[in-house]
Chains A and B, each alone.
Chain A
Amino acid sequence: MATSKSKSNSLVSHETQKRLQRIAVYLTALLISVFTIIPVYIMVVIAIQSPASTFAGGRVNLLPTQPSLRNFVVLLGTTDTVRYFVNSLIVTLGSTILSTSIAVAAGYGLTRFDFTGKSIAARAVLFSYMFSPIVLAIPLYVVFSTLGLLNSHFALTLALTAISAPFCIWLMWQYFQTVPIALEESAWVRGASRWRTVKDVVLPVARPGYISAAIFAFAVAWNDFTMARVVMSRDEMYTITVGASLFLDRVSIGWGETMAVSLLIALPPFLIALFLQRYLLQGFSVGGLE
């Protein structure tokens, strides 16, 4: 390959050209995977070894020699991590269920019933999908504070659902269009009511659609920082992202505990990526996620 440079371009054989291309392709792949893996690797290593071995000798040691649970023990023993986690779980599950239910109902209705102004509805849904959480958070804060709803799981659940619902609706709206109406009609002909048809025919067929909507809603709520930061101001109501974000300012908490909590926060998304990425990619193909 090195010799090909000395020859003129037209003399480079097709074989060589192909091989060069192959090398370029693998190099790019290698470069990007290293760029992607290194930060994750660092997080895991620092989380599973004690700070004493990580920072031994004034250098950062990133080859785990003595794995230890020390960071997790300190983290769970000296901070409110468990409570923050429970808060996160409550609002994430609440918002996932709420968002997915609204989306399944709306998606079915928008697909199966005809009305004027459908294109306006579509634009409204997409417009709210592009909306910035912080721009919505300020009005929501004002309304929640007027109603005395700040620092409640209920308010945060609503706020998170406001962010995830538009895309979930869009996704279900598109998904139901792939379900042939003939399926439902044949159930009607056999005397099933519209309700039974929805329950026994439509919902089972739509499962991949609402699983991907639920994953999206879950990811939005679990990853959220903005809404929780604005709606929750009392320490015991913090979600895990807000609670952990304050760790860096605390003298008693070092990088070991910080990476340990990162690993815990990263676990649910990691499991989703590992087992449910098929559904997630379906979401991407419908129009991108945030």
Chain B
Amino acid sequence: MSTALKSRVAAAQRALREHELDGTTLLLAACFVPMLVFFLVVWVIPIVYALGMSLFTSPVRNPEFVGLGNYISLLGSGEFWGFLWNSIVYAVSTTALSLVIGLGLALVINQRIRGGDALRTLMIFPYLLPTLVVIFMWKFILDPNIGILNQFLVEAGLIDKPIAFFSTLEFAMPAVVITSVWKFASFAFFILLARLQAIDPDLYERARVEGATTWQAFRDITFPHLRGAILIILLVRGIWMFNKFDIIYLSTHGGPLKQTTTLPIRVYQIAFSEVNFGMATALAGIMFFLLAVVAVVYFRAFAPEKEVA
């Protein structure tokens, strides 16, 4: 570095110090710059780029501007509504079942039963197990040739011949749902348990003294405390299950006969099997829009941004 440059740098540094840019402002920059750069690079730029791309035909060679053409042809096809319906069926059934099972278990463990702590630790496993491992387990259990469920059902005389659950029209969706519930019921469980443990035990004591039945205590004390958590589970878990890709892709690839093809699976197929990125990003755009609608409901219902100051 030349001496002239050195002295100019030194002068600039002095000026910075004099303007008290040494501490607070630098700290401010250190706090926010990484986050802003990061969001710009991995969220804003790709999404804006993709939304732009969704207005073109597949850009492999000579992309052609079609405006909302991709969106119109997606929404105009009966296929889209079928996949939307599959997504809704999957999201609603997995969310509802997870909620019921999670609630049951949370109420049970909240009774401070013997072994409750062990049971709580146990419930964390399915949740932490990688999706792939969960799929391997259930593929084995439900396998038509060597799966133990089929072995059990046949030996018990309940069915004549083994069922290929993941590849049979009427069983594919239920099989995917059961696999998903096995993994995600603990999400509802932990959130509900946290709420239950925050309820003042005196409330139950008072209710008991006044002769309330167990059901009445549940209806008038427990349920009102859980209502907010249940709504969060329905909304947030519902969004996530609606958008779930890995479980369905790994278990059925969307088959048989598109029986379990949901919108996320379809986005992947259009992008990587049909190599039509214009159409794929348009479908992703529609899902983005659906998420935004639910998010508005979520923000209206909870104002979660008020939780941080």
Contact = CB atoms under 8 A, between A and B. Distances in A.
Given A135-B264, A135-B287, A270-B125, A287 B101 contact: no
B137 A40 contact: yes
B41 A158 contact: yes
Contact of A162 (B43, B194, B305): B43
A32 B105 contact: yes
Interface string A130-154: 1111111011111100000000000
Contacts of B49: 139, 142-143
A205 interface: no
A82 B245 CA distance: 26
A59 B145 CA distance: 10
Interface string B226-249: 000000110010011001111001
A29 B115 contact: yes
Interface stretch (A63-71, A72-80, A100-108): A100-108
B30 interface: yes
A208 to B, nearest CB: 16
Contacts of A244: 132
B46 A142 contact: yes
A145 to B, nearest CB: 10
B1 interface: no
Interface residues of B, number: 94
Given A21-B214, A177-B308, A248 B139 contact: yes
A109 B31 contact: yes
A142 B187 contact: no
B243 A132 contact: yes
Given A123-B299, A138-B280, A245-B250, A106 B34 contact: yes
Contacts of A130: 236, 239-240, 291, 295, 298
A226 interface: yes
B167 interface: no
Interface in A159-198: 159, 161-162, 165, 169-170, 173-174, 177, 193-195, 198
Contacts of A193: 23
Given A36-B125, A39-B138, A43-B136, A138 B32 contact: no
Interface in B119-158: 119, 121-134, 136-141, 146-148, 151
A21 B122 CA distance: 23
Interface residues of A, number: 97
B122 A173 contact: no
Interface of B is mostly: helix
A266 interface: yes
A2 B305 CA distance: 53
Nearest to A254: B146
B191 A284 contact: yes
Given A33-B119, A105-B34, A255-B140, A269 B130 contact: yes
Q: Which of A105, A110, A159, A259 has the most CB of B within 10 A?
A: A105
B38 A134 contact: no
Interface in A237-290: 241, 244-245, 248, 255, 258-259, 262, 265-266, 269-270, 272-274, 277, 280-281, 284-285, 287-290
B31 A106 contact: yes
Interface in B21-54: 23-24, 26-28, 30-32, 34-35, 38-39, 41-43, 45-47, 49-50, 53
A222 B131 CA distance: 10
Given A46-B140, A133-B245, 6 more contacts: A122-B307, A138-B267, A162-B43, A195-B27, A265-B132, A269-B128
Q: Which 7 A-B pairs have the closest CB atoms?
A: A109-B31, A132-B243, A122-B305, A139-B46, A139-B50, A269-B128, A162-B42
